[in-house]
Structure 1
Amino acid sequence: MQQPLKYLGIMVETEPLRKKILKPYVLSNSTPMKLYSFTPLSIHWRTGLVRGLEYIAGTWRERMFPFPHVVYNRCYNRESLLFKRIEQVIGKGRCFNHTNYWNKMDMIRFLSQSLPDHIPETYVYRPQDLLMLSEKHPLMFFKPSYGSKGTGVYRSERKPEGSYWVGLHYNRPMAVLEQQTEWVVYLESLIGSKSYIVQKGISSISHPSLRIFDIRALLQKNRQGNWDLTNLISRIANEGSYNTSICDDIHPTAFWLRTFLTESSKNTVLHEILQIGMQTAHMLDSLGMGSGEFSIDFMLDEHLHPWIIELNGSPQKELYENMPERRIVYQRPVEYAAYLARSNG
């Protein structure tokens, strides 16, 4: 007996994104599910239909679809009422990644409960605390509470002679402040009333190229509904930059570490990152945020100790374009959607 057709709806923010985001998932689909992309504004609540876009045999077609059996959220927002309304139609637990716009301080506090040895000292930004923090930490990073790709992240370093160097994206300062009070006023002018955190800088391991790198762990749920570490990549910051989002070079982490570590040291680092990643994944499940994937950015210090720099609730897939077996990055969410469709009837 032929099984009824089941749809996965990939929800994106705007119509121009529908083709770009949908296509790689369709081309990597190894399940019987049919895929279409749609926006929140294309939902027709009265009729129970959705105006979506599908890609079949090299042809794009826009039409009205029934409500999907599962929704994979690729919007980056904090709207929760929309997802509650969707789940009232398709069933609870069938919309995944519905909470993916994470407050950095909230996540750090949560992770610190179980992983305190891997979280740099972090504070809510308050101008009145800056003098105390500058005495405690010569190197600090000021980050927006919400944000990605290193946007608005400032680096501040107190030099041995007492001056303060403040930079954006690059180690080269955009301002040198001779007095502590000047430094406070300057930071206030940059940040204003925006919500920021302050994080202790990590003395990262020196690569022979002297370029800063990170380790991004992509974790996704699989066809059995369990967490897997899908991929580990390292973004190599451009020369003179501390922002690994500004990079021309991306390599599989195992390859990159092999260029300057022994095989034993490399394997130890990879194993520890796997353990931290899986522990983080299960902790996120306990929050009930419906996560089906996320990524963690790590930095290694001089002792090869991994530090969690950031969690990303909506991982960038473009980073994997030139990586081996890139298809699995797109396969996993569809396989997880098929699992949800089966397990929820």
Structure 2
Amino acid sequence: MVNTKNPAKKTVKKKTGLLGIMVADAKVQKAVLARYARYNTTKMRLFSFTPSDIDWERKKITGLHRIDRNWKKGLFPFPDIIYNRCYEVNEDLIDRLEAVMGKNKCFNHINHLNKYEMYGHLSQSLDAFLPETIPYDKKTAADFLTAHKLLYLKPCLGNKGQGVYRVEMKESGQIHIGEHHIQSLFIAQDLSQFLEKMDEYLGSTPYIIQQGVNVRTLVDRVFDIRVLVQKNRAGLWSVTSAVSRVSYSGCFNTSLFEHMYATQDFLQYLYTPEKAQALMLSIHDVSLKAAECIETYGSLHLGELSVDLALDCDDRPWIIEVNGKPQKNLYKHFESYGTAYKLPLEYAHFLRNRPS
């Protein structure tokens, strides 16, 4: 039995493989571990820990685990595999961990993805499915807006649609700027006033400018398609789930959604069954290629990511962005919910048993 008052007194021994789930905050350790443990079909033993729980001198980690139906702290050796669930982890930390554990023993080591870097990786093979994207500066912003009329400005390291601006140049020359909502936050009378206002909004935060796509809507409401792509027990990319989020009326930000549906059902509402099936195949294909591109060209070791797509008025899928730390609570009311938690553990099991 592990002594909870002084967990350092006893070390938990590896038996069938040890998987450490690294989280950013001790407050979420129990909730995160409980979710994954519920769907653990491997024989690996799980524990959760934070970066501050690592004892580098003794090469031990103080972690939370479940034993005899109780949650307890124990002292663990460095695990066989680490599944990173921290959003902004220091790359030096991962390098230090893998120096002890071995290369590629920590997956999703980088999951707060830079949007412009991802655009560069994706454009290697999927340029036809990408809105044109450039780094923000005053000169390029003015030229880009004049050329495309509709733009989205996004922080390079944004999260959940925060700080995203929609910019549209009207035929009158007025420039309408919106945040979350299509309704204008500010109307600039010319390019000079537009750039001055964007300086105020963006400050020194690095931004990208993304060409606006004339997307298909549902009764004037914007919708997107979020595809969860994960590696399976064979170490291969597979599609776990695809859901469609329908925004509130007047919103362009689907992170603020009013309704969510399984994309297969949603597309059958909009199209014939044959057309819906063809679109699903295309969406799956683009999403899988996106995961492969990012991992290959970005030199990243990933086990999962989500791909956000939109359909234009010609039913062509466009990759809007990718997310390195998928929000799995989105799938709570869908059949894929359990699989979303099960597959990272199966992939970890694959990594542990893969020949070096």
State the 1:57 CA deviation.
5.7
Task: Provide the alpha-carbon RMSD of the alignment.
Answer: 1.5
What is aligned with 2:266? 256
What is aligned with 2:135? 124
Name the aligned partner's letter for residue 10 of structure 1: I
Identify which range, 297-306 or 286-295, moves more after superposition.
286-295
Q: 5+ residue gaps in structure 2?
A: 1-13
Name the aligned partner's letter for residue 292 of structure 1: G
| Separation of aligned partners in 2, 1:271 and 1:326 | 21
State the 1:123 CA deviation.
1.1
State the 1:279 CA deviation.
1.7
What is aligned with 2:239? 229
What is aligned with 1:280? 290
Identity of aligned residues (%): 36
Secondary structure of the residue that 2:278 maps to in structure 1?
helix
Match for residue 303 of structure 1 among 302, 308, 314: 314
What is aligned with 1:216? 226
Match for residue 23 of structure 1 among 17, 23, 34: 34
| Separation of aligned partners in 1, 2:179 and 2:224 | 18
Secondary structure of the residue that 2:125 maps to in structure 1?
coil
What is aligned with 2:249? 239
State the 1:178 CA deviation.
2.0
| Separation of aligned partners in 2, 1:175 and 1:57 | 59
Would the aligned equivalents of 1:235 and 1:251 in 2 still touch at CA under 8 Å?
yes
Match for residue 49 of structure 2 among 38, 42, 56: 38
Would the aligned equivalents of 1:8 and 1:72 in 2 still touch at CA under 8 Å?
yes
| Separation of aligned partners in 1, 2:291 and 2:103 | 20
Question: Does residue 1:337 correspond to 2:348, yes or no?
Answer: yes
| Separation of aligned partners in 1, 2:46 and 2:255 | 30
Match for residue 153 of structure 1 among 164, 171, 176: 164
Name the aligned partner's letter for residue 249 of structure 2: E
Question: Does residue 1:174 correspond to 2:185, yes or no?
Answer: yes
Q: 5+ residue gaps in structure 1?
A: none
State the 1:58 CA deviation.
4.4
State the 1:56 CA deviation.
4.3
What is aligned with 1:106? 117
The number of aligned residues is 342
**TM-score, length-scaled by structure 1:** 0.95
| Separation of aligned partners in 2, 1:206 and 1:11 | 39
Match for residue 69 of structure 1 among 66, 69, 80: 80
What is aligned with 1:134? 145
State the 1:47 CA deviation.
1.6
| Separation of aligned partners in 2, 1:148 and 1:203 | 23
Matches within 5 A, 1:44-59: 44-56=55-67, 58-59=69-70
